[in-house]
Amino acid sequence: MFTKRFERRIYIAVTVALSSGLLGFSFFLYAMWPANIVTGYEPDQPINFSHKLHAGEMKISCVYCHSNVEKGAHATIPPISTCMNCHSQVHPNNRSGQPSEEINLLKKHWEEKTPIQWEKVNDVADFVYFNHSRHISSGVTCNECHGPIETMTVVRRQNSLKMGWCLDCHNTPKKQEVVTGHKSENMTSKDTEHLPKGHVATLPEGHPIVTKSTRAPINCSACHR
């Protein structure tokens, strides 16, 4: 009925339409998947670990459990051996006076040498390069990205961790400093408001001031490598 050339065009058009629809549906599923919700993602964990108890009430440092956060790109999830440093001796009971089910489950993993499959809460896209140690050494606190983690019984995603949110922080002007020998003293904006961005000037006393227009790099290659 139709010429082969016309039929071929129809096949191509149908293939493109179906492929586009499938791609769009896949993107929709990805965007709406619970783990990719912008904020508020709060999955159930295999063990009910409370940051409010450990980091808040007991004041255990984040670095004790997330030991690589100051040294590498990943903060790392603590191995069971870190938990057992305390819980080989500490055996909390539940309200009925019986051994806690969570501690029993922890010990079961320890004895069977099976890892705990924690659900990741905070994450960035695979094409984003993020280094925890770089941010920690620059003075960024855990709470700036993860929210008031020391108040969370169940960890939730406090911030979107999307590019716009990151850039809002990177674009924040860096605090001005005046260097006096080996001592660094914070200055107010009034001390440097007359200086153009990126300008290096010298006070009458001879102390250099360096102003920076952003808190961190905003070029593409800083995060996309």
- pLDDT tens for 111-133 read 999 999 999 999 998 899 999 99
- Look at residue 37 in the predicted model and tell me its pLDDT: 60
161: region left, alpha or beta (phi > 0 left; psi from -120 to 50 alpha): left
Residue 214 or 202, more confident? 214
pTM: 0.67
Contact in structure between 55 and 149 (CB atoms under 8 Å): yes
Quick one: which of 4, 6, 130 has its CA closest to 72? 130
- Look at residue 114 in the predicted model and tell me its pLDDT: 96
Backbone angles phi, psi at 202, to 5 degrees: -130, 130
- pLDDT tens for 66-96 read 999 999 999 999 999 999 999 999 988 877 7
Backbone angles phi, psi at 108, to 5 degrees: -65, -45
- Look at residue 36 in the predicted model and tell me its pLDDT: 56
- pLDDT tens for 129-166 read 999 999 999 999 999 999 999 999 999 999 989 898 99
Going through the chain in order, the beta strands assigned E by DSSP cover: 177-180, 183-186, 200-202, 208-210
